Amino acid sequence: MGSLDSRKKNQVYDTSKSKALFEQIKKYEAGGVGSNDRLKVDPYPIFFAEGKGSRFRDVDGNEYIDYNLGFGPLLLGHSPDKLIEAANRQLQCGADYGAPFELEMKVAQKICEIIPCFELMRFNTTGTEAVQSALRAARAFTGKNKIIKFEGEYHGWVDNVTVSYIANTVDLLGPRENPTKLIFSKGVSPSVLQDVIIVPFNDLGAVEEAVKREGDQIAALLTEPIVSNAGIIPPRPGFLEGLRKITAENNIVLIFDEVVTGFRIALGGAQQHFGVTPDLSVFAKAVGNGMPISGFGGRADIMEEIVSQRVMHAGTYNSNPVSIAVADAALDLLSQDNGAVYRHITRLACRLQSGLEEIYRRNGIVCCTNRVEPLFGFFFTEGPVHEYRDTLSQDAEKIQRVRREMRMRGVYSKPTPRDVWYVSAAHTDQDIDITLEIAEEAVKAAG
């Protein structure tokens, strides 16, 4: 996999085999993909054959430096040897038991010792499931039904949390003091809207007003501590602390959705980084490095709703032995040398972010960047960007053109206008050098 290291300037990839496969698969799989965002690769999805370290190769033999990393999970890169060994060892002992096993206990203990809010936890398979489990526990514990969520935040694809996730214009979001509740998908019943309260992110006043108005009905406030799916939007100083105070004073369960930030911006996630401890938290993605695993947990008194079985929590693949074995190996690597992995990826992310920003600005692209540790993304707008409404003034088409030109030359990043760059432990300074060379060519080609 060394073709990028000897690439010719302005070399553009031929992806004709991917195009042919896409036409074939559409005859059998709806839309030709397993998840809608994969269709945002223009002009057609790229089909991949193998990946190792920071790079992967498509079916046409083209090599890419990967900054999408499976939409975030591959914190240690593609196919790390120690994780492959762990998966193979477990497969020799069985792929699934439908019953507890010793390694499950050890990994649960590790996670409870790492995540600040975890007194008790449970495993799930996907982030979507874990979010729903946390919400169910919060409703049972408080005896209330409504939740507060923020505009532009993604908490999985289930109906009750995909409200006001995306909008084409600010006008669609409605007035700040009374935001419109937007249903994201056809097929969603409007009945889900009665239990959701929408407010803008980073606006404590709006949260206070919602709680003053409906606090006796609000079970939980659900938030990404760093908005990570609308591009990267950090909390303002004091915002998370304010949420902690408001929820504690009003018998509202504070839930951090750390599907993206958990184990990525710090071993203990955003709650460790910011020093704000929620009541419940959700994790997924990075802990499995590509294997399907998630979980939720928090205060023992809330999790007692699960322990007592007053709240149903189930799943055939929960605590799957192969996923647990990979998570165990991943946690060992992430914990080594007092956070060496995090220092490495943060240093490279800083270098990549500043290099890209300099290239964009030098070529006349108006942009701003938000970054927290290794997690960053660009907005093609003047900025600053403090909430989802601020992102809707950006030139989304320009972002997509630049990203397409980069992809055609061997740099693969998240294929949506909601720009996020993921750096892994496998990335190197040479990867950054090549990426910046390609970015310079791509920006000029994008016009």
Catalytic residues: 154, 257, 285
Indicate the SS3 state at residue 298: strand
Q: With both helix axes pointing from N to C terminus, report the angle between 321-335 and 102-114 in degrees, rounded to the nearest 10.
A: 40
Asked whether the bond before 374 is cis by omega within 30 degrees of 0, the reply is: no
Indicate the SS3 state at residue 113: helix
**What is the spatial distance between Cα 133 and Cα 201, in angstroms, rounded to a whole number?**
23
Amino acid identity of residue 405, one-letter, is E
CA-based nearest residue to 283, from 293, 295, 268? 295
Query: Taking a C-beta distance cutoff of 8 angstroms, is the pair 215, 252 a contact?
Result: yes
- Two tokens at 3? 């073709």
DSSP 382-442: S----SHHHHTTS-HHHHHHHHHHHHTTTEE--SSSS--B---TT--HHHHHHHHHHHHHH
CA-based nearest residue to 404, from 4, 39, 31, 43? 43
Strand partners, 57: 50, 63
CA-based nearest residue to 257, from 293, 215, 225? 225
Residue 307's region, left for phi above 0, alpha for psi from -120 to 50, else beta, is alpha
Q: How many CB atoms lie within 10 A of CB 353?
A: 20
Residue where the block lists tokens 């606006």: 203
Upper half-sphere CA count for residue 25 (Cβ side, 13 Å)? 17
Looking at the chain, the number of H-run helices and the number of E-run strands are: 14, 13
Residues in the chain: 447
Burial class (CB in 10 A: 0-12, 13-18, 19+), 317: middle
